[in-house]
């Protein structure tokens, strides 16, 4: 079995994957800036700051593949995003190259394309339209993955993750929900599929309201088990509790788009 490193082990996604991945990857190494809560004696944890290249090289030693979920997972000040998601991401790819890692699955985000309107259905190869500094960092990570695939021969899969959790929590998330077990399936594709050189896939379950064309993921064998519409009543009940957000409700990125928005609102409705 391959030795897999998962960064971001203390985050929301990492914490859930700690439960789901060990049966698939028994030789799993966890890493984060902070020690995960309730760390088990059976788990291997190596602390590392992604902004420290030497530390990242150390955790990449002897690793076959990396699931990169580390970094700052929401919008934040530029310096925070810079250190964790841009410098940290570069260090991860560079350390992987130096240590001979063969495959990387990079946790990108729907916020790399958040300024597409909700009436658009977009494939993976659209022009980036990030909705935040956080989204910009994910665009950087995708570009870096392409560079390291083309120039250095790493196999790189970028997953534009929608909303990860046990069920979609509002109307927007009915379109972008990602069941945890479906993310595991996408990770397995990225780690093992022989045809992957560089791919951008959408991290979403089977959602009838999807804004994304995920055909390529299905071509690679993806068969999600989560169905957003199974949770429609709950999501719509929660939606009714939210205040209208004219900008966020128009764009795929939701509140990430409306936060700090100072653009020409009249042009919002002309977007294509």
Q: Which domains does the chain have, with CATH numbers?
A: 4-268 (3.40.50.720)
At 14-33, the pLDDT tens digits run 999 999 999 999 999 999 99
Q: Is the pLDDT of residue 269 over 90?
A: no
Q: Is the alpha carbon torsion for 8, 13, 16, 19 positive or negative?
A: negative
Distance (Å) of CA 52 to CA 43, 78, 84: 23, 18, 10
% of the chain beyond a pLDDT of 70: 98
What per-residue confidence (pLDDT) applies to 6?
98
Mean pLDDT value across the chain: 96
Q: Is the alpha carbon torsion for 80, 95, 162, 185 positive or negative?
A: negative
What per-residue confidence (pLDDT) applies to 143?
98
Does 134 qualify as catalytic in the annotation? yes
Mean pLDDT of 185-192: 98
Contact in structure between 65 and 188 (CB atoms under 8 Å): no
Distance (Å) of CA 205 to CA 71, 156, 167, 227: 23, 21, 10, 6
At 56-68, the pLDDT tens digits run 999 999 999 999 9
- Alpha helices by DSSP H, listed for the chain, are 12-20, 53-59, 78-81, 88-98, 133-152, 171-176, 180-192, 215-219, 232-239, 255-258, 265-268
Q: Is the pLDDT of residue 271 over 90?
A: no
**Length in residues, the chain:** 272
What per-residue confidence (pLDDT) applies to 270?
57
At 79-103, the pLDDT tens digits run 999 999 999 999 999 999 999 999 9
Residue of 134, 202, 206, 251 marked active site? 134
Contact in structure between 114 and 72 (CB atoms under 8 Å): no
What per-residue confidence (pLDDT) applies to 186?
98
Structure tokens, 264? 């020409």
Quote helix, strand, coil % in the chain, to nearest 5. Answer: 40, 15, 45
Give the C-alpha separation, 32 to 88, whole Å.
Answer: 12
3-state secondary structure of 37: coil
Mean pLDDT of 119-125: 95
- Residue 149 φ/ψ, nearest 5 degrees: -70, -50
Residue 266 pLDDT level (bands cut at 50, 70, 90): confident
What per-residue confidence (pLDDT) applies to 268?
61
Q: Is the pLDDT of residue 254 over 90?
A: yes
What per-residue confidence (pLDDT) applies to 1?
77
**189-221 in b/e burial notation, b at 16+ Cβ within 10 A?**
bbbeeeebebbbbbbbbbbebbbbebeebeebe
At 200-217, the pLDDT tens digits run 999 999 999 999 999 999
What per-residue confidence (pLDDT) applies to 70?
97
What per-residue confidence (pLDDT) applies to 244?
95
């Amino acid at each position: 079995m391959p030795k897999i490193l998962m960064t971001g082990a203390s985050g929301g996604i990492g914490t859930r994957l700690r439960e789901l991945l060990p049966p698939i990857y028994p030789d799993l190494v966890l890493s984060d800036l902070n020690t995960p809560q309730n760390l088990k004696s059976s788990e291997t944890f190596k602390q590392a700051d992604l902004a420290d290249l030497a530390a990242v090289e150390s955790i990449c030693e002897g690793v076959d593949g990396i699931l990169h979920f580390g970094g700052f997972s929401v919008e934040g000040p530029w310096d925070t995003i810079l250190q964790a998601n841009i410098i940290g991401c570069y260090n991860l790819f560079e350390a992987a190259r130096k240590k001979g890692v063969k495959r990387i699955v990079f946790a990108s985000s729907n916020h790399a394309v958040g300024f597409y309107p909700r009436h658009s259905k977009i494939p993976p190869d659209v022009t980036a339209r990030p909705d935040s500094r956080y989204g910009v960092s994910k665009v950087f990570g995708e570009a870096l993955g392409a560079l390291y695939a083309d120039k250095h021969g790493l196999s790189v899969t970028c997953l534009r993750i929608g909303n990860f959790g046990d069920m979609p929590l509002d109307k927007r998330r009915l379109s972008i929900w990602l069941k945890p077990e479906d993310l595991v399936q996408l990770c397995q594709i990225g780690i093992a599929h022989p045809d992957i050189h560089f791919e951008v896939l959408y991290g979403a379950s089977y959602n009838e309201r999807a804004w994304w064309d995920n055909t390529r993921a299905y071509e690679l064998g993806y068969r999600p088990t989560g169905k957003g519409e199974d949770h429609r009543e709950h999501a719509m009940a929660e939606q009714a509790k939210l205040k209208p957000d004219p900008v966020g409700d128009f764009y795929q990125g939701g509140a990430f788009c409306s936060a700090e928005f100072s653009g020409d609102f009249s042009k919002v409705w002309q977007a294509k």
